[in-house]
Every structure is written in structure tokens, then in C-alpha cells.
Structure 1
């Protein structure tokens, strides 16, 4: 017997699927999340969050729960682009936020958050077949106790790069598969005397290499001790003999690869202490993107929509913001107030962001290749990155701070993630991130522009209004979407701005109540 129809089913209980589930639950929609694994994966993958996604978690009240330091997130003073150092000391608006957290822990915490909001997460349940019908999707599910049918209005594929959902709806996945370059990486043990005080490593017979990615003439080398006593060590080799498919990765293979790259032996051993420990080989790296993120009532998020190299750490920044972008729009459709075309804006907004991430990751990978030509390009790029304006450009690219959605509003803040202002409200000083905890649209008036609040009152069932003040206000008023992006802003309370506010409210949040 089929179950009672549900509004949303999410296939995949990784970070992106669980983030989407929580976003929907905050809007009053309780999705079902399916995952074929019997329990959350313990496989070490991503090591943290990089970029604007850290601010997104702060907006949901998750930043501190996930290990962030007290107070507002603080940007990094330095980072790297393909192993080239980036210094942000001279930037007035540094967007490079980082939250170190192993992916298995991130999944467990996101699951706890989503379940606490009423989400039904079903481990060991695999979607085997889908059929789109008018106004919904019929699913065949294989679970621990047998097969069953599930009817849903919307299906979201968050099921990874080999997405069954994407394949069954016939969405093409064009892109590029690298035929050269093999990454080998793993947690390892090495003698304490080889560690340097600043997080690097002193390699006998070679010398010191700093924390992070390093490009050498024979390939690439990575050293990053994100967890005490268990550094991540990696090599990148070009032009080597192919490894037969299915060959298990070993510490000995990693050590031999490091020897070829470094020219000397790095005395690593298998990591000590409880695992699981990372140990994997990545060859034939895919850089691919779904030609469309929507097919009828089926949507794609995260790796189901795009895959790319992990260099620079962009994956979760991209995928989790996919989820935040789609979540409130699906909820609007289910709750009955979505304006025409709102669901189509998901692809229109997020597909170009994926294109830029893939461009960045391909460029960084290319800059690791051997040869004097690449060395010359890196030297030139290193000189260019000494200029703060160039460093700022790369920082915005890597963090996603250069994302600007088309809103039809000319204000400099429109379409961008809202600045994290501290404002004085009737309840005392608050950061804007704290005002977005409920994931609801927010009209924030900063200069006593009561007219704007009167206009938004016609959308009070779906748009919150907060009157506040702040020194050096960047606008008289801001209309902020649930995903943290500014839909509208104005510098004064003019009639033309009032008209634009009405138009923007209708465009994104549907018709007014009266």
C-alpha cells in the first residue's frame, strides 16, 4: 500500500539533502529524506566549510553548534589559490570565512538539526524508480522491510555525482574528465620533530614546506593537520602509469607517490588511534554540471547538479547554498504563495554560480601541472596577487562573495548576500544574522522609513518587519530573502522606491493579502 502523499521527498541524506530538509522544516514543510546507506557515512571527505556558507550557517544559528568560535564569524587573515599565498590584511571587506569540521560530523549535526525540526530521515531506503505525473512524482522505494510506493509533489535529487534521480529524469551531465593527474591522499602519522610551529612540515633532505597546498616541479604536495595527531597528507602526480581500476589504495602507495613528487622519502605511517581514516585515490577527475537543475517537479542540488575538484574547498559552499536557495522557494509553492516562475529562478540563479566554481577549480588544478611554462605563469600570478585589488577579486571568487542574483533593483546591495550589520532594535543590539534565524523574508528598516513597513504589512503572513537603527547604515531599508540575499534596497523613502518595494515583494513573495 502506498503511503500518504507528501509534499517533498529528498533522495540523499548527505550535507546538502539534510540542509534542504532543515530549510523546508523551518518554513513549515516536513519532507521525507531517503538514503540507501544504513546509517550516516563515516568516510572522511570534506574537511570543512569555506566561504559565504559559514555566514549562512550563522544565520540559522548553527555556526556555534557546529564548532564556531564565540561571537560573529571572523574571516581568515590568509588563504591560498592553487598553493599561491593570499594575504587579506589590506582588505576592508574580507569574505574568506572558514569553519573546520569533518564531513561525517557535519552530517550527524545536520541530521540532528533536521530531525529536531520534525524531518523524517529514513536510512536504508533507496529510491529505485520514479515516474513524473501531472502535479507530482511517484516513487518506488526499496527499504529494509521490502518495497513500497511513495507519492510526492516534489522530488529533490541530493544523491551525489552518480545521481540516480538525474539519470532517471534524463538530465544531461556534460563536462570534462581529466585523463592526467592522480591525487593520492590520506590521514597519516609522522614524527613530531618534522612538524613546524606554523603548521608546516620539515622534510629530511628536502626542506620546509608550509601548511596547505604546494606545487613542486614533480607535482603537488599537501600537508594539513586539521586534527591534532592526524595530518592529511596528499600527492598529485602527472604522467604516471595508470592504476588498474579496483586496486585498493594503501599507505605504501601514498608514501611511494610522495617520494616521486618530493624526490626524498617522507616517513609517514598509518595513522594511530581510532578511525575511520581517509585513504583514497582520485584519478579521472570529473568536472561536470547538469544542463538544467529542474525537470518538471524534480530538482537537483549539490553533487547531483555539479562535480569538480575539491581544490580550494568550494564544494559545500556551493551545495549548501543550493539547498538554501531552493528550500524557501519550494516551501513557497507548497504553502500556496509562490509567484509564477519562482521555482524557475533556482536554476537561473544557481547554475551560473556552479559555472564559476568549476572555472576556479579547473584553473587551480591546471596551475599545479609541471613544466617551465606553468612555473612562469605561477610566478606572474604570484606577483599580481601582491596587489590588494587582485587578492580581493580572488577572495570574492573563492568565497562566493561575487555572487549577485538578478533582482531588477539597481542598488549596490541588491542581489548580494546581506552584510552582517549590528543594529539596534527594540529588543537591544542584534546582528542581522540573528534576525534571519527563522528563515523568513525580512524587511529591515534602518532610518525610520515607516512607509516601507506599512507596505510590507500587506505581506505580514510571510514577511517579517524589523525597525532598527545603526551607524553608517548602508541603506534606508533592506528586503532580505530567507537565504540571506538582498532582494531590494533603497537609500531614501521616495515614492519611486515604494513602488519598487511593492513590485519586489510581489515578484518574490507573491500577491499581497489585500
Structure 2
């Protein structure tokens, strides 16, 4: 029997596995897919997650490969949030394919001694672990569901997932553009819909947006290249010479949150705990921060360094963050789907405020980036040099508490 069975080998499950191993827990990760999904839902890594990577000595390959963008967007408004004013060594967002993030996370988890088993479809829970669809059982003292919005673990544990159903649809296309925007990045918004364009590795661009024709609760059907081309022409006046689609997809704005992040020896993290419209590119980041909060606590409990009650602080600290995530992405979705003249006027007013009120821009940037997260024990502690000559982030690489002049800093970088 292992200490922890993690279900799901996405970014959240793999980072959690690495954190558990760093804390001395044995862990097995179960993943239904035999091969890593080549389609990358997430692209954006925000400043707080870059700090987390630095605190574990894992930031360098991300910084070397990712595209640094010194700003972020709120609801794709024309005026962007200036990340350069943020108090962090990483005042930018980093664009990197989710598949590569998973690859790097998995390498770290394996290096630390985690076991990753692919092709393992979980059927449900047992008294001492999880049952696979082939009838076998993987035993573990704790089970963590990192298995997405349709989480089998959440359902098997009987954890409610209240919220709202889809009322509008967004679309996504990873395509080749023969005539891309001048700097590779562009956004458009108007009565015909909204569109954002960002470059991906390998000469591919991602087009993501929404339009009035898909502003409905009914499933519009599978997205085709012809439909995407016609929609982009209506919004931007050109299709940018799109061809050779690699991935076409739709996504809805259903918004749900698990009623509890812990039910006995079962816990949830990432999309299994919160589902939302992918506005602002924050979903994966919040999930990684879930894992970062849970990992050291669960490792401390299973190794006997802490009482079981420590796990209750996981829900107490992260559930409010998930609720705020749903509020913010819901607000952005409403602004993004501004298909009337009045709503376009509201977008213009808010965009102007971002451009002319620095405090507003900074507040939104801190929330979007994850730097504003505060628990009852305190905010995250910025990187600084300790009396020993080491930086705080360097000292946190052991995954243990660090004494500082400001007070004891937890393994996740928050004051204890």
C-alpha cells in the first residue's frame, strides 16, 4: 500500500506527486491515457506559479523555452494589465504548451521517486484505494482526484459539484496562418464576436474566441475549419490565410465548484475541484497552486510529522480561492461576450480605467497572477536574501519550513 494514490497525470496531479515525494510520501499516479495528450488546453504560466517553480529549483527550463509576455489581459479588453509593476522576480506571463509543462513535471516526479502508471482507467473507490476498470485495486492510505471536471473520484466520493450549466460556447483552433498578425499576437472585439490570436511553437497559431451564433446553451456541433474561417473573417475582416488545422475544439462556460475539497481520505485538486470558462488562462495555475498547498500538508500527515487535522486547512484555504476564480472568470466571460452596443460601451469604459487608473490595473494583475492570494496565516512571502546569504526561494527547495525575520515560512511560501 502506498501513502497516496493520485488519479490524473495532468499538470496538477504530476506537481502534487512531486511535492508528496519531496515531503517523503510514497505515491502512485494513475492516468487513463496511454500517451500524453498532444493538444494543450493551457498555455499560460502566471508569475506566482513561476515563483513556485523557482522555490523547487525547477524554473530554468520553463524560462528557457517559454515566451515571456510582460502583460496579461482581463476579458480580452484592448488595454492590457501591466505585469512589470508586480513585486516578483517574474513580472510577466510565460507562454508554454501544456504538453511540455506536463513533460517537465513528470520528469521531476519520476526523478523524486513517484510511480506513474498510464492506461489505468479508474472505475471508483474502495475501502483502501481505487478500483480500476479491469477489476484490480490500487491501494493507498489517501486518494487525490486530479482527474478533471468530470472527476470519477469526486463522483465516487459523493462530493457535490454545484454550479451553473453552459449558456455560451467558446471555440479554439490551432492552425497554420499564412498571413499572421504583424507581431504574432492580436485581439479583436465587436458586435460580431471576440477573437485572440497567439503564436505557438512549430509555426502554428492559436485562435480562440466566441461569437453571437454560439451564445446559446445548446451544443453547436463540432467545430469545422470552414466555420472557423467564416467566423474569423466576420470578426477580424480576414482569415489570416488559415489552413492545416491541428486541433479544433469548443468549450462551454459551465461554472461549478466542489462542495468540499476533502471527504475523509479523499481529496480533490484542480479541475476536479473547480470548473469554469478558461478566461485569463488561470485554470491550470490555480490547480498547480492547489497541489502546492496540499502536497506538503499531506506528506507531513502520512509521515507522522503532523496531525490529520492539518488536511482540513487545505479546504479552508483553497476553497475560497476557487470561489473567487469562478467569480472572476464569470465576470470576464460576460465582458468577453459583449455582442451589443451597450456592452461594447461598457468594455470601452473598463478598458480605459485599466489604462488610466494604475491601482486598478495592479489590483487586477495581482489577482490574475496569483500573487494576491492570502490565507489566515498570511500572504505569500516575496523572495529576499536571508541572513545566511541564501534567498528565500533557494531555502524553500527542501520543501520544509524556513525561519526568516518576518516569521516562519511554510513550504508553500506563505507565512506559518
TM-score under structure 2 length normalisation: 0.92
Q: Which has the higher helix share?
A: 2
Could you tell me which residue of structure 1 aligns to residue 147 of structure 2?
159
The structure with higher relative contact order (CA 8 Å, sep 6+) is 2
Question: Which secondary structure state, in structure 1, belongs to the residue aligned with residue 242 of structure 2?
Answer: coil
Identify which of 242, 255, 264 aligns with 1:296.
Answer: 264
- Partners of 1:121 and 1:90 lie apart in 2 by 38
Say if 1:88 and 1:258 are closer, same or farther in 2 by CA, change over 3 A.
closer
What is the aligned partner in structure 2 of residue 480 from structure 1?
A: 409
Shift of residue 147 of structure 1?
Answer: 3.2
Shift, 1:240, TM fit: 4.3
* Cα offset, 1:329, TM superposition: 0.8
1:353 paired residue number: 321
Q: CA offsets, 1:455-487, max 9 Å, x none?
A: xxxxxxxxxxxxxxxxxxxxx343111111112
SS of alignment partner, residue 188 of structure 2: strand
Q: 1:185 to 1:150 in 2, by over 3 A?
A: closer
Q: What's the offset of the Cα at 1:187?
A: 1.6
1:214 and 2:143 correspond: no
Alignment partners' CA distance in 1, 2:261 and 2:217: 34
Unpaired runs of at least 5, structure 1: 201-210, 272-276, 408-414, 445-475, 488-514
Asked whether 1:79 is paired with 2:72, we answer yes
Q: Tell me how far 1:138 sits from its aligned partner.
A: 3.4
Structure 1 counterpart of 2:200: 226
Root-mean-square deviation (Å): 2.4
What residue in structure 2 maps to residue 279 of structure 1?
248
Which of 343, 349, 371 is the equivalent residue of 2:311? 343
2:181 equivalent in structure 1: 195
Q: Could you tell me how far apart the structure 2 residues matched to 1:36 and 1:313 are?
A: 25
Deviation at 1:238, TM superposition (A): 2.1
C-alpha separation in 2, matches of 1:109 and 1:339: 32
Match of 2:57 among 61, 70, 85: 61
Aligned partner of residue 329 in structure 1, secondary structure: helix
Match of 1:118 in 2: 113
Aligned pair in 2 of structure 1 residues 33, 270: CA closer, same or farther (>3 Å)? same
Structure 1 stretch displaced more, 57-66 or 318-327: 57-66
Q: CA deviation at 1:20?
A: 0.5
- Name the CA distance, whole Å, in 2 between partners of 1:265 and 1:349: 45
* 1:234/1:258 contact within 8 Å kept: no
* Corresponding residue of 1:19: 15
Rounded to whole Å, the distance in 2 between the matches of 1:115 and 1:341 is 29
Rounded Cα–Cα distance in structure 2 between residues aligned with 1:33 and 1:90: 37
Which residue, out of 163, 172, 185, partners 1:185? 172
The alpha-carbon distance between structure 1 residues 383 and 242, as it changes in their structure 2 partners (threshold 3 A), is closer
**Could you say what secondary structure the match of 1:430 adopts?**
coil
Q: Which has the larger radius of gyration?
A: 1
Cα deviation for residue 264 of structure 1 reads 5.0
Report SS of the residue matched to 2:61: coil
Q: Write the mapping of 1:30-69 to structure 2, written as runs, cut at 5 A.
A: 30-68=26-64
TM-aligned CA deviation for residue 96 of structure 1: 4.8
Distance 2:292 2:83 in 1: 31
Deviations 1:294-344 (A, max 9, x none): 111100000000011112110111000100111111111111121362110
The alignment covers a number of residue pairs equal to 412
Verify: 1:328 aligned to 2:296, yes or no: yes
CA offset digits 1:119-155 (Å, max 9, x no partner): 11100112212134xxxx332224xxx5322322100
- Give matches, 1:369-388, under 5 Å: 369-385=338-354, 386-388=356-358
Change (3 A) 1:376 1:243: closer
Q: Which of residues 131, 139, 146 is equivalent to 1:140?
A: 131
- Is the 1:51–1:398 contact (alpha carbons within 8 Å) kept by the matching residues of 2? no
What SS does the aligned partner of 1:40 have?
Answer: coil
Output one character per residue of 1:70-92: Cα deviation in whole Å (capped at 9) or x when no partner.
xxx99954322112223538836
Q: 1:178 Cα shift?
A: 2.9
The TM-score, its normalising length taken from structure 1, stands at 0.75
Counterpart CA distance in 1 for 2:341 and 2:282 is 28
Asked if 2 retains the 8 angstrom alpha-carbon contact of 1:189 and 1:229, the reply is yes
C-alpha separation in 2, matches of 1:424 and 1:228: 46
Query: What is the rounded CA distance, in whole Å, between the counterparts of 2:391 and 2:229 in structure 1?
Result: 48
Q: Which residue of structure 1 lines up, in the alignment, with residue 363 of structure 2?
A: 393
Contact map agreement 1:357 1:398 (CA 8 A) in 2: no
* Structure 2 segments unaligned to the other structure (5+ residues): none
Partner of 1:441: 401
Q: Aligned partners of 1:98 and 1:90: how far apart in 2? A: 10
Query: Are positions 1:150 and 2:150 aligned together?
Result: no
